[in-house]
Amino acid sequence: MKYEFSPSLQILAEDISKRIFPHVKIDRIKCFRSYGSSTRGTIARCHALGKLLQKAMGVEAFYALEFLGEKFDKLDSDEKTKVVIHELMHIPETFGGGFKNHDVVCEKNVEKCYNAYKNCVQNEKKIDWFEVQRQTNRY
């Protein structure tokens, strides 16, 4: 496996986080492209530094978003954005090293987030997507 930091994906992830996921500490996430994975069906992964390692190392939570280059790079721009949103959605509001699972991070909610993100970009605004969903009881 080969990993390389991706400035373009980092910029996109930071923009998405600033606009719809304000709980994400953008200085505590990094985006990488990977090459050489033999996994099937996986386009991207969210990795976290778990609680025990955080305590052992004396550091706060940290997340690495991995995008499998051979598959991810073939997607169109909209689908790439949805994949980044999907991976960011796994980061819980506590930003403690855990994950939101696929009952929340599902295609329906990714699509809602994507539409909210596009709306925020078009109208130059920011929201807290998870708070909006709680208020409307829609996830």
CB atoms within 10 A of CB 129: 23
130: which residues sit within 8 A by CB, 6+ positions away?
21, 23, 93
Tens of pLDDT, residue by residue over 54-103, are 999 999 999 999 999 999 999 999 999 999 999 999 999 999 999 999 98
Residues in the chain: 139
Give residue 15's identity as a one-letter amino acid code. Answer: D
Q: What is the pLDDT of residue 117?
A: 96
φ, ψ for residue 5, nearest 5 deg: -60, 140
> By mean pLDDT, which of 31-45, 65-79, 120-134 is the weakest?
120-134
> By mean pLDDT, which of 2-6, 95-99, 107-111 is the weakest?
95-99
Contact 21, 129 (CB under 8 A): yes
Q: Which CATH class is domain 2-129?
A: alpha beta
The residues spanned by each domain of the chain are 2-129
Give residue 42's identity as a one-letter amino acid code. Answer: T
Question: Higher-confidence residue: 40 or 109?
Answer: 109
> Taking all residues of the chain, what is their mean pLDDT, rounded to a whole number?
93
Whether 38 shows a pLDDT value over 70: the answer reads yes
